[in-house]
Structures are given as C-alpha cells and as structure tokens.
C-alpha cells in the first residue's frame, strides 16, 4: 500500500489517501490542483510542511519522527511532462545515468537491454535533440525503469504527444505495468486517459482529495458537486429532498418527482443537487410497451441541437421542472427517428439508477 | 620590449584565472540556484567592479590593504607580507576586480539548467554532488569557458587598479599595460607600439580560442543530432 498524507502551504496541500500496490493509479485534477506537487512530494523532490509517505511499510517521509529520504535515495522512477532527457548525453547515456552505482560494462548492458524493452534499441547513440516526442518518451521511460523502481511516477507523460503515438504508448504502458507489476502513479488532467489506464482514481482540487476509489466507481458516481463538475457532468440540477424508502430516495424538481436508486438521508424540503449523465437521458416513443420500467417519464421541449461528430448534444426544458435545462447526448439515428429539432416536444425518461444525488 | 612585464602580466592573469574560476563557479552556481533575502545585494557587490571607476576600486583597496589598515596590518603581522606595491597584492586586487567576469557568465549558465533536469537527475539516484558534476557543470560549461576567457583577457589588459595598488615596480608590479603607459610617458612610441601590438595579439588569440572552443562544442552538439 502506498500511504500518503501531506500538508503544505505553498502550494496548498491538505490530503490523505492510500493507493493499492502493484496497480496503476491516476491522480486527476485541473491546473493548479496540486497534482504535480503531490508527485514531487512522493519522489522526494518537494519537502512539505507535514508529511507521512510510506510504501508497503517502508517510511520515506515522516515529519513526526524527522524522517525524510531525499529523491536520490528513494526507489522511484520519474517521467515528467517534458521528459527532461540530459541534452549532452546520447539515449543510452541517459539511461546509463540512472545506473551510476554499477560498473561501466554492466551499466551499458542493462541500459541497452532496457532500450530494447521499450522498442528503441537502434536509437541508442542518438542525441535527445534527434529523437521524436514519442522516442524521447520511451528513453525517459527506459531511464525511469532501468533501476527497477518500486514506484513509477508519471507526470502527464503523454500530454505533448500526437493522438496516435499517445494511444500506442497507452497500450505499452499497460503492458509494461502488467509485466512488471509495479506500483504506478499517473498524474493527468485527462479523465479519458485516466479511465483507460488506471484501476484506482484520485480526484484532486485545490490541494484536496475530492473523491478517491476504484476508477470505474468514481467515474460512474461522483460524490459531490465539485467532483461532478470536474468529471464534466453537464447536468447539475437543484431539487428538494422529499423522502427515502427501500427503493431509494425521492426528490422534487419543480413539480416533477424524481426517484434515485441510491442517495443520502436528509430532511424533507432540504435542497440537494443531483446529476445525470447526458448519455443516460433517453427519448421515449409514444406507445412504448413497458413504460413503467423506464423510470420517470416527463415532457420536454428542445431548445438547442448541436452536432458533435458521432453524437448530437440536445438541450431540453422539462415541463414543470422549474426552468433548468437538461442536456442529452443522442445518437444521430435516434435524432432522425424522433425528429429532434429546436422547438420539438418530446417525452424523455429519467431512470432512478441514472440519477446521482450529490453531497 | 619589456619581457619581464609580459611575464608578469601572464603570471597575474594565470593566477587570477586559477584562483578565481573555482570561486566563480561556486558563487555563480549558488546565486543561480538559491533564493535568499540578501541575494540582490550580493549580486550588486559582485557586479560593482563593472561600474566603478578603477581609481575608486584602487583607492579602497589601497586603504584596506595598506600596512596601517587593520587587514593589511594583520597580514603583515602574520605572514610578513605587504600587499601594497607587491605581486600578491596585485593578485588580490585582480581577484576582486575580476569577480563579475568570473561570476556573471557562470551564474547565467547555471540558471539555464532547468529544474526538470535537476529533478530527473535526482530521481536517477544521483547525489547532489553527482548532479553537479554529471549534469549541471557539463551543461554550464560554455558559461564557465566564457568566464575563463573574460577573466584572463581582462586581467591582461587591467590598468587602473594595477597602477593604484601596485604602482610601477619593474619585475614586481609593472605589467604590460603599465609598461606601455610608462613608455608613452617616456616618449618612446616605438616600444609602446610593439608592446601594445603584442597585448592586442595575445588578447585576440585568447578570445578567439575561447570562441573556437564554444563553436566546436556547439558543432559537436549539432553533429549528435
């Protein structure tokens, strides 16, 4: 287990989380959320006001007992945004630079083997300025891995790459992580990247953990309004808590009564926020054979239709809702079938399992 | 031609270079990588010889190094060494006057080595000393070379402070630039011309060698790419 507890003033950090060993965890947050500072603290590059960092029982930093292992003594590999290859060294010299504790011949042998492993054996003699972005990233990865670190730290390592290189390197990172079984922490602002690569996700904002857990769980159910905003849930709506029973929670949204399968206990009349993915709001045809299974059915009027490549984003005003619009992501086929256009009146379904009541 | 003046000039430039360059590297690196309250003041002190007239620098050095001053008196008492009108005093004056030439290029060169490279080196398991020797110093080398060329060249041509602190003692403090001045005062333009041409040649060769080394390094870097 990688246990992290950090308090710092500039940049402001106040967080506490555990990450599972042998897995790839992602720390996601907007610019200025402190995610790079967390990574620097893990690497031993940032000494925070208060810290306790341990990996599987080995304490790397503990301000209470005065323990602080500097970066060069921690078994970490680090790949930064700009790769930071030493410009006066060739690719193989860059990798060898992480093995200065070994004799020269052994150093070169291991560095070459590591370049082989990341698929750039033929570029060993090249200078970093003669390598493409993807090749630099591989050299940086080889340099980080060659010391066989117990913790691999990746600070937005794919952000400067083109889409196809990024996709290819995503696959290679997953393969490397699976083969080596090491604990990896990836910092990124790209939720899609985190969703594809990580098993555990930690959402950060202003130096604090907003939500933390299994990636699939966090992405499915944001725990707070801030988390929902960060995860780009475009439907953030105010309602009133009515009551709870064995089937879930009831909310009043204007005149519409909604059901949520899961939700917090509260008092009747207390304002709450709820959200629903734009792709979880469905159109319903008149005469649907099993309408009761679709959830709450309401009438709505289309106010905007925007084509977004392979999907269409429609904004609707739900009748009796109190004026807050809902956004729906529809397939072009559904748009054609239902004749969706501005001004069109539609019936839509809001299923209790899709309604997420936020703290 | 005053060969002893030439020898003295080269000796002074050599001693200044050998003693000042390590100091320049240490102070330049420290100023480049350390934030502290008095940094602007220290930088100003280091750069002061660039803007002060040599007579002002020379006057203060004379005042502080004289046998009646506390510093000069102590050195005289401990080492039996007079700093005024002597070669050691000339070297000390030269060290102080050349501080900006030895520090500023080095400081700029160290400042250009990014924090990311530092972090990467530390995460490669390099101790701070190894980061300095393996990453920082090789990357800052052009700045160090510039500092060496400027310090050596400037010391060869230094006149005002040398005259104020060392006077004009043949074989002891009369450098080539003082000898040229001396020959002009003595209405011996031919000797002054020969020595001026020699100083010009040495200075030109020094600076050209420095640029040549920088060019070779730049070409080697480009050749690798």
Closest CA to A111 of A165, A76, A154, A148: A148
Q: Vertex B150, ends B161 and B47: CA angle to 5°?
A: 60
8 Å CB contact of A130 and B116: no
Helix (H) / strand (E) element for A16: namely strand A13-19
User: Per the structure block, which two tokens stand in for B206?
Assistant: 């020094």
Answer CATH for A233-358 from 2.40.50.140, 2.40.50.100, 2.30.40.10, 1.20.210.10:
2.40.50.100
Q: What is the pLDDT of residues A181-210, one digit of tens each?
A: 889 999 998 888 999 999 999 999 999 999
> In a mutagenesis test of the B interface, which of A73, A76, A86 is the best target, namely the one with the most B β-carbons within 10 Å?
A86
Q: How far is B134 from chain A (nearest CA, A)?
A: 9
Q: Are B94 and B16 in contact (CB under 8 A)?
A: yes
CATH architecture classification, B3-224: Orthogonal Bundle (1.10)
A97 touching B (Cβ < 8 Å): yes
A147 touching B (Cβ < 8 Å): yes
User: Per the structure block, which two tokens stand in for A117?
Assistant: 């492993």
Strand partners, A245: A248
pLDDT for B179 equals 87
Q: Are B105 and B47 in contact (CB under 8 A)?
A: no
Q: Which portions of chain B are predicted below pLDDT 70?
A: 221-225
Rounded Cα–Cα distance for residues A210 and A130 (Å): 42
Q: Are A339 and A351 in contact (CB under 8 A)?
A: no
pLDDT for A173 equals 86
Report the greatest alpha carbon distance in chain A.
Answer: 79
Helices marked H in chain A — which ranges? 35-43, 91-96, 104-117, 133-145, 163-180, 191-197, 215-220, 225-230, 332-338
Rounded Cα–Cα distance for residues B49 and B178 (Å): 20
pLDDT for B221 equals 63
B112 touching A (Cβ < 8 Å): no
Rounded Cα–Cα distance for residues B27 and A45 (Å): 23
- Domain segments of chain B: what residues? 3-224
Q: How far is A87 from chain B (nearest CA, A)?
A: 8
- Cis geometry, peptide bond prior to residue A11 (ω within 30 degrees of 0): yes
A267 touching B (Cβ < 8 Å): no
8 Å CB contact of B119 and A40: yes
Q: How far is B121 from chain A (nearest CA, A)?
A: 8
Chain A's closest residue to B217, CA to CA, is A88
List of chain B residues whose C-beta atoms are within 8 Å of the C-beta of residue A87: 139, 221
* CB half-sphere exposure, A330, CA atoms < 13 A: 27
Chain A's closest residue to B125, CA to CA, is A72
Return the SS3 of A14: strand
List of chain B residues whose C-beta atoms are within 8 Å of the C-beta of residue A97: 121, 124, 126, 134
Torsion of the alpha carbons at B102, B219, A138 and B123, rounded to the nearest 10? -20
Mean pLDDT by 10 residues, chain A (359 residues): 92 92 92 91 94 93 93 93 92 94 91 88 90 91 91 89 84 84 90 91 93 92 88 88 90 91 85 91 82 86 92 92 88 90 92 89
B135 touching A (Cβ < 8 Å): yes
pLDDT for B225 equals 45
- Provide φ and ψ at B89, rounded to 5°: -65, -40
Nearest CB to B119; choose among A84, A85, A88: A84
Strand partners, A325: A317
Chain B's closest residue to A44, CA to CA, is B123
B117 touching A (Cβ < 8 Å): yes
Chain A's closest residue to B114, CA to CA, is A84
User: Per the structure block, which two tokens stand in for A67?
Assistant: 């323990």
Give DSSP secondary structure letters for A262-318: S-----TT-EEEEEE-GGG-EE--TT-TTGGGG-EEEEEEEEEEEEETTEEEEEEEE
8 Å CB contact of B135 and A86: yes
Which ipTM was obtained for this model?
0.81
A77 touching B (Cβ < 8 Å): yes
B224 touching A (Cβ < 8 Å): yes
Specify the residue for token string 């985190």.
A194
Q: Is A256 exposed, middle or buried (0-12, 13-18, 19+ CB in 10 A)?
A: middle
8 Å CB contact of B130 and A100: yes
Give whole-number Cα distances, A75 to A59, A111, A146, A149, B123, in Å: 12, 17, 11, 5, 8
**3-state DSSP of A301-312:** EEEEEEEECCEE
- Domain segments of chain A: what residues? 2-221, 233-358
CATH number 3.40.50.300 given to A2-221: yes
pLDDT for B223 equals 52
Q: Are A35 and A28 in contact (CB under 8 A)?
A: yes
Q: Is B50 exposed, middle or buried (0-12, 13-18, 19+ CB in 10 A)?
A: exposed
pLDDT for A190 equals 87
A230 touching B (Cβ < 8 Å): no
Length of chain A equals 359
pLDDT for A322 equals 76
Helices marked H in A1-132 — which ranges? 35-43, 91-96, 104-117
A44 touching B (Cβ < 8 Å): yes
Burial A133-142 (b: 16+ CB within 10 A, else e): bbbbbbbbbb
User: Per the structure block, which two tokens stand in for B111?
Assistant: 């400042």
A160 touching B (Cβ < 8 Å): no
Torsion of the alpha carbons at B10, B13, B18 and B20, rounded to the nearest 10? 170
Nearest CB to B225; choose among A76, A127, A143: A127
Q: How far is A335 from chain B (nearest CA, A)?
A: 50
8 Å CB contact of A43 and B221: no
Nearest CB to B224; choose among A85, A90, A147: A90
Rounded Cα–Cα distance for residues A70 and A156 (Å): 22
């Amino acid at each position: 287990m990688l246990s992290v507890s950090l308090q710092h003033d500039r940049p402001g950090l106040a967080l506490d989380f555990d990450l599972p060993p042998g897995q790839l965890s992602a720390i996601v947050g907007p610019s200025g959320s402190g995610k790079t500072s967390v990574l620097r603290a893990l690497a031993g590059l940032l000494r925070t006001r208060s810290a306790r960092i341990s990996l599987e029982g080995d304490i790397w930093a503990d301000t209470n007992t005065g323990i602080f292992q500097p970066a060069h003594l921690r078994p970490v590999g680090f790949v930064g945004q700009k790769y930071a290859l030493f410009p006066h060294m060739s690719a193989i010299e860059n990798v060898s630079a992480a093995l200065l504790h070994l004799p020269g011949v052994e150093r070169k042998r291991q560095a070459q083997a590591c370049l082989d492993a990341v698929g750039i054996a033929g570029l060993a003699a090249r200078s970093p300025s003669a390598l493409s972005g993807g090749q630099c990233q591989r050299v940086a990865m080889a340099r980080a891995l060659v010391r066989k670190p117990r913790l691999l730290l990746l600070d937005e390592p794919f952000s400067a790459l083109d889409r196809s290189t990024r996709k290819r390197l995503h696959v290679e990172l997953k393969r490397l992580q699976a083969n080596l079984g090491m604990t990896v922490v990836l910092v990124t602002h790209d939720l899609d990247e985190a969703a594809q690569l990580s098993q555990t996700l930690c959402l950060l904002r202003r130096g604090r953990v907003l939500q933390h857990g299994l990636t699939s769980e966090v992405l499915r159910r944001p725990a707070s309004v801030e988390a929902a905003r960060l995860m780009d849930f475009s439907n953030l709506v105010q309602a009133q808590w009515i009551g709870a029973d064995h089937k879930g929670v009831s909310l009043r949204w204007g005149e519409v009564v909604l059901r949520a399968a899961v939700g917090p206990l509260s008092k009747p009349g207390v304002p709450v926020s709820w959200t629903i993915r734009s792709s979880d709001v469905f159109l319903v045809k008149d005469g649907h054979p099993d309408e009761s299974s679709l959830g709450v059915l309401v009438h709505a009027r289309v106010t905007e239709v925007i084509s977004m490549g392979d999907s269409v984003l429609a904004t609707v005003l739900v009748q009796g809702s109190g004026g807050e619009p809902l956004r729906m992501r529809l397939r072009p086929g559904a748009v054609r079938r239902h004749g969706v256009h501005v001004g069109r009146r539609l019936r839509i379904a809001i299923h209790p399992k899709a309604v997420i009541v936020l703290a | 031609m005053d060969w002893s003046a030439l020898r003295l000039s080269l000796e002074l430039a050599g001693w200044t270079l050998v003693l000042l360059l390590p100091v320049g590297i240490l102070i330049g690196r420290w100023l480049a990588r350390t934030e502290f309250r008095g940094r602007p003041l220290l930088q100003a002190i280091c750069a002061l010889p660039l803007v002060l007239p040599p007579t002002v620098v020379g006057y203060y050095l004379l005042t502080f190094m004289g046998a009646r001053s506390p510093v000069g008196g102590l050195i005289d008492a401990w080492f039996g060494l007079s700093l005024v009108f002597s070669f050691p005093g000339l070297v000390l004056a030269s060290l102080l006057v050349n501080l900006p030439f030895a520090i500023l290029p080095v400081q700029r060169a160290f400042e250009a080595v990014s924090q990311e490279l530092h972090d990467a080196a530390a995460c490669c398991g390099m101790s701070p000393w190894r980061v300095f020797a393996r990453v920082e110093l090789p990357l800052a080398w052009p700045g160090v070379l510039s500092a060496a060329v400027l310090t050596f060249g400037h010391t060869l041509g230094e006149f005002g402070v040398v005259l104020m602190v060392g006077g004009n003692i043949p074989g002891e403090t009369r450098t080539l630039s003082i000898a040229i001045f001396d020959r002009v005062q003595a209405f011996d333009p031919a000797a002054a011309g020969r020595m001026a041409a020699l100083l010009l040649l040495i200075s030109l060769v020094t600076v050209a060698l420095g640029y040549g080394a920088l060019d070779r390094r730049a070409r080697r870097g480009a050749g690798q790419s």
